[in-house]
């Protein structure tokens, strides 16, 4: 006991490099401020204040990130007593997250596509009642989504930078809890939305319990939860391998769940379909970036030396994910579900890059994440435009002949689908190319063959939508395409433009992604 007391007295306050962590502090600080805005401003002023505050916050966080990136040591810094590492990959992922977050906030804030916005005016009103029909037509939304978005984004930023497993667990919860709530806030089809929230919450909490048990077992294995200490422990041989394998397995289940990989994807289609579309865009793009950022760091820093022990398992998971995503995507009749299964297939491709454990694999996976994020945000932005009297018309049959009614929307969506399929001159092609090239170099040829077959199968269901839009007769009572307001237009244009730029001129982003490795 005296031993422990002596240990406690030796504690000193850790050094904090404020410039390095400034983007996190700005985002989380503004999230708290945004909660105060909710509490003290009258309802009429909240929407405009929150939108300005949120967008300014993201711009300020981006500015401080640029200041740090210009100023930093060549390889970055580890700060906050070794719990947060801001290195080159983190700078890349933070920049991606901030820009994707900016696009998502624009989609979330838009009130022109759906009068009043995609979010419920009063979340406490019961669905299906008279008050609910009144709130559906009322102009105004539950503006709590803005602080929730900022908290989730802050959690994602900490998650990709976390250098120990406890920080990673807290960040995982900080990013997940707001997302659970945001899923349940749709203005229309509220039963579906609430159901999505319950499913996401119960399965997400279940998965984070697995993650946490993995953390505990690895703590027992290595005597520390720092990734570097776990890496050091795996080179010794006198410790219990049972704890290592069990801990690694449970930890990875939690991470793969968040990234909606393979057999742990069960929540993805339901939650993507039920959530308000702007939230789906945010989840699909930003959560994927954050989850794979975390997976990359854990695999590269902590478990690289034990890779021959777990490689086979993650091979199987990657194959399962690609096959499930591609095959089940074929049978979907709902656009949002189809993109959800496509995200499961993409998660498999990303995992192929992650387990190659080479510098090329790291930069390729990060480039893929960036490319996929922007394409997905723009795709969900387009999905939110196609509407009928009940809200969004997401059933595929309603998309028949869309090109005749709205050639521009159909052309943009076609371009985005081609990017998801990985056709040349889009970012999707370059992303797949660099990831598969890295995997081949690491001697994973069989996995690359499976990935190519899965891409070909997945291309079929993207092309089916294109054929449907261009070569079918529109139904008489089909949906109309809303003319988007400035915010949605900016978000879709940004996503589509970056998809094109990364496809035609990828060298800038590839160089940036390959600028350096993890430090710890």
Partner 1 sequence: MTPTYYLLLSALLFSLGAVGVLVRRNAIVVFMCIELMLNAVNLSLVTFARINGGLDGQVMAFFVMVVAAAEVVVGLTIIMAIFKTRRSASVDDSNLLKY
Cα separation, 470 vs 3, in Å, equals 75
**Minimum CB–partner distance for residue 357 and partner 1 (Å):** 28
Taking the least distance from each CB to partner 1, the nearer of 329 and 516 is: 329
Comparison of 185 and 318: residue with beta carbon closer to partner 1: 185
Query: Which of 222-230, 285-293, 352-360, 412-420 is the region at the interface with partner 1 (rule: CB under 8 A)?
Result: 222-230
Q: Which of 324, 358, 367 is nearest to 501 (CA)?
A: 367
Q: Which of 84, 118, 123, 314 binds partner 1 (CB under 8 A)?
A: 123
Rounded Cα distance between 376 and 365, Å, is 16
Residue 331 or residue 397: which is nearer to partner 1 going by CB? 331
Alpha-carbon span 350 to 435, nearest angstrom: 8
134 belongs to the binding site for partner 1 (CB under 8 A)? no
Rounded to whole angstroms, the Cα distance separating 137 from 219 reads 53
Question: Which CB sits closer to partner 1, 269 or 373?
Answer: 269
Q: Are 447 and 519 in contact (CB under 8 A)?
A: no
Interface map 282-321 toward partner 1 (x if CB under 8 A): ----------------------------------------
CB of 181 to partner 1, least distance (A): 6
Q: How far apart are CA 234 and CA 241, in angstroms?
A: 9
* Three-class secondary structure of residue 330 per DSSP: helix
Q: How far, in Å, are 184, 230, 306 from residue 453 at the CA level?
A: 36, 37, 30
Nearer to partner 1, 101 or 274 (CB): 274
Q: 442 by DSSP, 3-state: which?
A: coil
Largest CA distance in the chain: 81
Distance of CA 450 to the CA centre of its chain: 24
Q: Is 177 in the site for partner 1 (CB under 8 A)?
A: yes
Select 12 or 70, whichever has its Cβ closest to partner 1.
12
- Find the binding residues for partner 1 in span 188-207 (CB under 8 A): 190-192, 194-199, 201-202, 205-206
Residue 225 binds partner 1 (CB under 8 A): yes
- Considering the complex, state which of residue 241 and residue 441 has its C-beta at the smaller distance from partner 1: 241
Out of 159, 219, 282, 415, the residue judged to bind partner 1 by CB under 8 A: 219
Instruction: Report DSSP letters for 256-272, one per residue.
Output: HHHTT-GGG-THHHHHH
331 belongs to the binding site for partner 1 (CB under 8 A): yes
The sign of the CA dihedral 130, 383, 353, 263 is positive
Look at the alpha carbons of 87, 88, 89, 93 in this order and tell me if their dihedral is positive or negative: positive
CB of 490 to partner 1, least distance (A): 31
CA atoms of 369 and 292, how far apart (whole Å): 8
Residue with smaller CB distance to partner 1, 159 or 201: 201
Please tell me whether residue 216 binds partner 1 under the rule CB under 8 A.
yes
- Cβ atoms within 10 Å of 66's Cβ, excluding its own: 13
Chain positions contacting partner 1, by CB under 8 A = 3-4, 7-8, 123-124, 126-128, 166, 169-170, 173, 177, 180-181, 184, 190-192, 194-199, 201-202, 205-206, 209, 212-213, 215-217, 219-220, 223-225, 269-270, 273-274, 331
């Amino acid at each position: 006991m005296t031993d422990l007391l002596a240990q406690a007295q030796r504690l000193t306050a850790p050094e904090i490099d404020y410039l390095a962590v400034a983007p996190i502090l700005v985002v989380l600080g503004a999230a708290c401020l945004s909660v105060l805005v909710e509490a003290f401003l009258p309802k009429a002023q909240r929407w405009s204040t929150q939108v300005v505050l949120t967008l300014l916050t993201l711009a300020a966080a981006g500015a401080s990130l640029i200041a740090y990136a210009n100023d930093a040591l060549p390889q970055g810094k580890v700060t906050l007593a070794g719990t947060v590492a801001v290195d080159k990959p983190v700078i890349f992922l933070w920049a991606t997250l901030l820009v994707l977050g900016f696009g998502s906030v624009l989609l979330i804030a838009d009130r022109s596509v759906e009068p009043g916005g995609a979010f419920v005016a009063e979340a406490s009103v019961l669905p299906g009642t008279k008050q609910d029909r009144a709130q559906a037509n009322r102009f105004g939304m539950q503006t709590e989504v803005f602080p929730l978005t900022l908290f989730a984004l802050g959690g994602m930023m900490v998650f990709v930078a976390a250098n120990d497993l406890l920080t990673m667990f807290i960040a995982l919860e900080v990013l997940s809890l707001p997302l659970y709530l945001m899923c349940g806030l749709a203005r229309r089809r509220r039963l579906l939305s609430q159901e999505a929230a319950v499913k996401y919450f119960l399965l997400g909490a279940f998965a984070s319990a697995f993650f946490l048990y993995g953390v505990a077992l690895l703590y027992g294995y290595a005597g520390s939860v720092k990734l570097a200490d776990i890496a050091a422990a795996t080179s010794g041989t006198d410790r219990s391998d049972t704890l290592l394998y069990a801990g690694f397995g449970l930890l990875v289940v939690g991470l793969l769940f968040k990234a909606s990989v393979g057999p742990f994807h069960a929540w993805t289609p339901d939650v993507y379909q039920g959530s308000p579309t702007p939230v789906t865009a945010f989840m699909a793009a930003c959560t994927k970036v954050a989850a794979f950022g975390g997976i990359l760091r854990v695999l590269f820093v902590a478990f690289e030396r034990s890779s021959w022990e777990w490689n086979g398992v993650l091979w199987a998971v990657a194959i399962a994910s690609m096959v499930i995503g591609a095959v089940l995507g074929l049978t979907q009749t709902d656009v949002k579900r189809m993109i959800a299964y496509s995200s499961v297939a993409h998660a498999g491709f990303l995992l192929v890059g992650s387990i190659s454990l080479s510098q090329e694999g790291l930069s390729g996976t990060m480039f893929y994440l960036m490319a996929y994020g922007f394409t997905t945000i723009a795709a969900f932005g387009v999905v939110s435009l196609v509407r009928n009297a009940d809200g969004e018309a997401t059933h595929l049959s309603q998309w028949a002949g869309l090109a005749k009614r709205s050639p521009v929307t159909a052309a943009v969506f076609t371009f985005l689908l081609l990017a998801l399929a990985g056709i040349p001159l889009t970012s999707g092609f370059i992303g797949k190319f660099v990831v598969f090239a890295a995997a081949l170099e690491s001697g994973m040829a069989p996995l690359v063959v499976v990935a190519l077959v899965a891409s070909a199968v997945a291309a079929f269901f993207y092309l089916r939508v294109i054929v449907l839009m261009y070569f079918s007769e529109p139904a008489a009572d089909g949906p109309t395409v809303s003319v988007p307001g400035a915010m949605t237009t900016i978000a879709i244009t940004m996503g589509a433009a970056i998809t094109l730029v990364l496809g035609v001129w990828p060298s800038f982003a590839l160089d940036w992604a390959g600028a350096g490795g993890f430090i710890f």
